[in-house]
């Protein structure tokens, strides 16, 4: 026993990750790609429908079909699913699923003889689901902020200003544009709570982690805010179930999954959360001060905070942590690998010579600075691409390479201040974390040790760890979060880079110059 399943229902795929906490191993990791299996049946492209004018939706029935295929695949691989003690999961954040009054009985009376898709096609009051890529709700964002008494009020109440992709603005738009379908809706869930509902065979509430991505949850109380609900759409107290507290089982697995895949009848279903909050756990960030940085296509900074601090200038989002106690800060920089690759390609370098350029140039770059907005930037907000050089010769390839990385590291420090986190360690993941010379600059700028962390499916791993922690607590064998995450979140051996005192001193001065340059060229910083 001691097996726990984490399921991550994300934009392009659904992933199952099975852990064994007795010998601290990941025993299975399987993904079902939506385009590969369902493009013909549903017409999705990269897992979504682009409906134009900023509207981007997906198909909740497809996710149910993919869940069946995922579990069938695990079963076919001879994994004994009867050994799983508990399941938790993660969903792409913000997406809203709308169900009619046939949903609850359909889930309860479901037969394991037929697949989910054949039995659940009629439960939707809206066949498609707006997801996080949808940017069509600017008007509704403004209306909601006005409705609660202004942007600052919404920020204070819910932890976030109104964002187009957040669930509340999407719900408001549905109510305004399709009032009849809205009235036929008896349940509004998020991607996370919808998948949990399928597994539990009953309608399940949204957890605080994903609730914080709705613009409707009181972030401090971890309950729906009546003020925010009123400003969003009518009758929401009826259509939303109460927030499902983190870590408390919502039930046991539905007989459908017992009959079809052999799950045990006492297998617990824990509340599902958003993919980012689950990644916080999957990266091992359960203590305030721990920060992770993912250097991927874009760069993302995740931090564990003790309080729900907010960013008035929209530098980041705040979510409740699924650990039930802490909060997560998330800041996203669009010009991550995009900018690193742009500089590499302009000067015809490869990653090897790129690293060499960093090695032989000096911290502080002899005063040369770059604002590396090769594409528009989210933080700080820059709407048009613009690359600014100060005391930096464009013809000097090596200095430009150093400049882009120093800019990214300095920016990651400046725009982490709103989190109020004293950064004690930085866990770096993502493709560019393979480059130790890049990590060295981050260690010196942040003046803390940097560890490399290798993970592909941190959200699914975080979910599996939530299942383990929840089950152990429910069965009287509670262990601390630290103990739960530690064996699965070890940094890569020998990867730690410690800060260099002299370089730290250089960057302490340089950051002032950099911030002044940034201020002069951007709207908010
Ligand atoms: P995503 O998950 O966003 O697709 P990944 O985390 O897989 O991105 O990172 C892929 C990126 O890593 C590539 O686009 C590339 O720019 C970058 N990368 C790979 N190796 C190196 C390296 N040695 N140095 C810097 N960047 C690298
Ligand atoms: C976070 C966000 C995305 C989704 C997609 O606010 O919109 O990261 O969670 O995975």
Q: Is the CB of 58 under 6 A from ligand 2?
A: no
Q: Which domains does the chain have, with CATH numbers?
A: 3-277 (3.30.420.40), 284-454+493-525 (3.30.420.40)
Nearest to 355 by CA among 336, 338, 368, 340: 340
Write out residues in the chain with pLDDT < 50, as ranges. Answer: 524-525
**Closest-lying ligand to the alpha carbon of 408?**
1
Phi, psi for 355 (deg, rounded to 5): -65, -40
pLDDT digits (tens, 9 = 90+) for 177-205: 999 999 999 999 999 999 999 999 999 99
- Provide the pLDDT for residue 1: 66
Q: 61 and 189 in contact (C-beta within 8 Å)?
A: no
pLDDT digits (tens, 9 = 90+) for 377-430: 889 988 889 999 999 999 999 999 999 999 999 999 999 999 988 898 899 988
- Provide the pLDDT for residue 525: 41
CA distance 270 to 464: 10
- CA of 145 from ligand 2 middle (Å) equals 21
- Provide the pLDDT for residue 430: 87
- Provide the pLDDT for residue 523: 65
Q: Is the CB of 165 under 6 A from ligand 2?
A: yes
Nearest to 270 by CA among 187, 196, 192, 190: 196
* Nearby residues of 53 by Cβ (< 8 Å), 6 or more positions away: 136
Q: Is the CB of 438 under 6 A from ligand 2?
A: no
- Provide the pLDDT for residue 383: 83
- Taking the CA of residue 297 as reference, the ligand 1 atom at the shortest distance is 3
- Provide the pLDDT for residue 378: 84
């Amino acid at each position: 026993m001691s097996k726990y399943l984490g399921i991550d229902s994300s934009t392009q795929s659904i992933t199952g990750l099975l852990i064994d906490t007795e010998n601290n191993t990941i025993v299975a990791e399987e993904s079902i790609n939506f385009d590969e299996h369902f493009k013909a049946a549903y017409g999705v492209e990269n897992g979504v429908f682009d409906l134009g004018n900023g509207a981007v939706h997906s198909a909740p029935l497809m996710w149910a079909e993919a869940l069946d295929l995922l579990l069938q695949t695990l079963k076919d691989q001879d994994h004994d699913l009867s050994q799983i003690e508990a399941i938790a999961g993660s969903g792409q954040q913000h997406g809203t699923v709308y169900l009619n009054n046939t949903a609850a009985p359909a889930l309860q009376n479901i037969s394991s003889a037929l697949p989910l898709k054949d039995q659940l096609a009629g439960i939707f009051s809206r066949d498609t689901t707006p997801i996080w890529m949808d940017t069509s709700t600017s008007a509704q964002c403004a209306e909601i902020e006005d409705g609660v008494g202004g942007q600052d009020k919404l920020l204070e109440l819910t932890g976030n200003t109104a964002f187009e992709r957040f669930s509340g603005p999407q719900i408001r738009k549905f109510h305004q544009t399709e009032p009849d379908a809205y009235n036929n809706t008896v349940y509004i869930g998020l991607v996370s709570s919808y998948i949990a509902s399928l597994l539990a065979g009953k309608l399940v509430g949204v957890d605080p982690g994903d609730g914080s991505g709705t613009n409707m949850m009181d972030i401090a109380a971890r309950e729906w805010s009546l003020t925010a609900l009123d400003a969003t759409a009518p009758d929401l107290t009826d259509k939303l179930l109460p927030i499902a507290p983190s870590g408390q089982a919502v039930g046991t697995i539905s007989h459908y999954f017992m009959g079809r895949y052999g799950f045990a009848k006492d297998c617990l279903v824990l509340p599902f959360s958003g993919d980012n909050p689950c990644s916080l756990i999957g990266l091992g960030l359960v203590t305030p001060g721990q920060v992770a940085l993912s250097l991927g296509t874009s760069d993302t900074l995740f931090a564990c905070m003790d309080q729900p601090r907010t960013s008035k200038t929209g530098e980041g989002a705040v979510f409740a942590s699924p650990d039930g106690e802490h909060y997560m800060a998330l800041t996203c920089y669009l010009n991550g690998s995009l900018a690193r690759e742009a500089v590499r390609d302009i000067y015809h370098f490869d990653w090897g010579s790129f690293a060499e350029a960093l090695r032989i140039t000096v911290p502080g770059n002899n005063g040369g600075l770059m604002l590396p907005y090769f594409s528009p930037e989210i933080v700080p907000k820059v709407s048009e691409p613009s690359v600014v050089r100060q005391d930096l010769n464009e013809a000097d390839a090596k200095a430009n390479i150093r400049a882009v990385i120093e800019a990214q590291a300095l920016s990651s420090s400046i725009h982490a201040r709103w989190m109020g986190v004293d950064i004690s360690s930085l866990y770096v993941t993502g493709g560019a974390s393979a480059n130790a010379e890049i990590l060295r600059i981050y260690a010196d700028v942040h003046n803390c040790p940097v560890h490399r962390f290798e993970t592909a499916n941190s959200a699914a791993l975080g979910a599996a760890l939530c299942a383990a922690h929840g089950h152990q607590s429910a069965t009287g064998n509670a262990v601390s979060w630290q103990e739960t995450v530690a064996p699965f979140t070890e940094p890569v051996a020998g990867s730690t880079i410690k800060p260099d005192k002299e370089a730290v001193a250089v960057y302490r001065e340089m950051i002032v110059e950099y911030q002044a340059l940034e201020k002069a060229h951007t709207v908010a910083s």
